[in-house]
């Protein structure tokens, strides 16, 4: 089945068109270039999601979530690296927290609403949901340790950089072990369960080719996005914190924005939950540590995981919400409304800085 359907063809055409548009406007700068780059990232992210979904016959829901989130977080990782290189430390910190918050409140909330209105009460394996929720909570609590040592004036205060590096290394090792555990469990599950067919319409070679091309284009567009970010913040009159927490976080998580809602709408709630929650998990356990460890090479050797109080509170709230909403193994549209309301309130609190 190597036929490209009309939707796929349109997506590929839009991906090329928006990337060309972003390239053409990068010299102009300002809001126009920012919007063009954001649109290009969104379309490229959608292409990534289509390519990964086409591989659904070869991997299970957990691995789909891991692959989808890893590739979906690539533009965000690049955006954070370029932003740190340009000295936008506040934007980087807010984006890390905002990406986690957006996935567990905004995206999961929208997915619950759309899926609940179409399919009623949706269920997913409670054990798997609790595992990923608790892992996310532990990872977020680890990220919070440097902030707590600083604000509580413990003997570790003054050594936040060293402590942040230790936290980053521990999280990366833990994520590597999590991959081993997930692969082992998935292999065991596939051996005892009948295969589930997901017809993506693309052969494996095409899916891999799309992933390779979109990865290269995403790297280019991410750089243009950051170049246009600072003048756009001034034009819009918003704070660095709000820009990072909301605008950059949503743009950098375009894959989860699209795929999570689509999968809940199609009543594939197990795969959807994996996609949505794997993203903040990987941000906490991979993206934040990698950005921290690379910071000296980017001229930001003083960058740490110490967060301002409101960002720290938002980070901890995100982790607790992630566990609470999935603990019962089901979702309703009303739960989605509550999550969206929480996101609006927290986002509004950063409007002024």
Quick check: is 56 in a domain?
yes
Give pLDDT, residue 333: 92
Instruction: State how many domains the chain has.
Output: 1
Please provide residue 301's backbone torsions phi and psi, each rounded to the nearest 5 degrees. -65, -20
User: Could you give the count of Cα atoms lying within 13 Å of 94 in the half-sphere of its Cβ?
Assistant: 23
- 272 lies in which domain range? 6-348
Give pLDDT, residue 41: 78
Higher pLDDT, 54 or 343: 343
Whether 86 shows a pLDDT value over 60: the answer reads: yes
Question: What CA–CA distance (Å, rounded) separates 95 from 101?
Answer: 10
Quick check: is 209 in a domain?
yes
Quick check: is 78 in a domain?
yes
Give pLDDT, residue 171: 96
Whether 193 shows a pLDDT value over 70: the answer reads: no
Taking alpha carbons only, the member of 292, 251, 22 closest to residue 145 is 292
Residue 24, number of CB atoms within 10 A of its CB? 12
Give pLDDT, residue 59: 57
Give pLDDT, residue 199: 47
Rounded to the nearest 10 degrees, the angle between the axes of helix 269-282 and helix 89-101 is 160
Quick check: is 1 in a domain?
no
Give pLDDT, residue 306: 92
Question: What CA–CA distance (Å, rounded) separates 268 from 300?
Answer: 42
Quick check: is 84 in a domain?
yes
Quick check: is 189 in a domain?
yes
CATH number at residue 68: 1.20.1420.30
Quick check: is 353 in a domain?
no
Quick check: is 205 in a domain?
yes
Higher pLDDT, 238 or 345: 345
Question: What CA–CA distance (Å, rounded) separates 211 from 304?
Answer: 32
**Please, where are the H alpha helices in the chain?**
6-25, 30-53, 61-72, 74-85, 89-101, 108-119, 126-151, 160-192, 204-236, 240-242, 249-252, 254-265, 269-282, 288-294, 309-326, 333-348
């Amino acid at each position: 089945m190597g036929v490209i359907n009309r939707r796929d063809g349109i997506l590929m055409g839009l991906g090329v068109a928006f990337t060309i548009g972003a390239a053409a406007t990068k010299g102009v700068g300002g809001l126009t270039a920012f919007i063009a780059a954001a649109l290009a990232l969104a379309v490229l992210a959608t292409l990534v999601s289509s390519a990964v979904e086409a591989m659904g016959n070869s991997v299970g829901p957990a691995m789909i979530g891991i692959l989808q989130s890893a590739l979906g977080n690539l533009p965000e990782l690049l955006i954070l690296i370029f932003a740190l290189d340009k000295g936008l430390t506040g934007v980087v910190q807010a984006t890390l927290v905002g990406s986690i918050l957006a996935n567990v409140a905004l995206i999961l909330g929208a997915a619950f609403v759309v899926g609940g209105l179409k399919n009623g009460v949706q269920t997913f394996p409670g054990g798997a949901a609790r595992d990923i929720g608790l892992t996310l909570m532990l990872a977020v609590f680890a990220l919070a340790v440097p902030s707590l040592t600083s604000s509580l004036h413990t003997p570790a205060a003054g050594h936040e950089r060293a402590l942040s590096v230790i936290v980053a290394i521990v999280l990366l090792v833990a994520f590597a072990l999590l991959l081993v555990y997930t692969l082992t469990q998935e292999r065991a599950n596939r051996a005892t369960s009948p295969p589930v067919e997901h017809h993506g319409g693309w052969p494996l070679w095409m899916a891999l080719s799309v992933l390779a091309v979109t990865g290269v284009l995403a790297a280019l567009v991410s750089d243009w996005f950051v170049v246009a970010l600072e003048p756009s913040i001034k034009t819009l009159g918003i704070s660095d914190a709000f820009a990072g927490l909301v605008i950059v976080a949503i743009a950098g998580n375009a894959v989860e924005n699209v795929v999570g809602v689509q999968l809940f709408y199609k009543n594939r709630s197990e795969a959807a939950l994996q996609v949505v929650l794997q993203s903040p998990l990987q941000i906490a356990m991979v993206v934040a540590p990698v950005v921290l460890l690379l910071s000296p090479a980017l001229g930001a050797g003083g960058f740490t995981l110490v967060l301002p109080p409101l960002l720290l509170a938002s980070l901890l709230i995100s982790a607790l919400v992630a566990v609470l909403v999935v603990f019962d193994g089901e979702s309703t549209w009303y739960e989605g409304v509550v999550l969206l309301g929480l996101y609006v309130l927290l986002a509004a609190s950063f409007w002024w800085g």
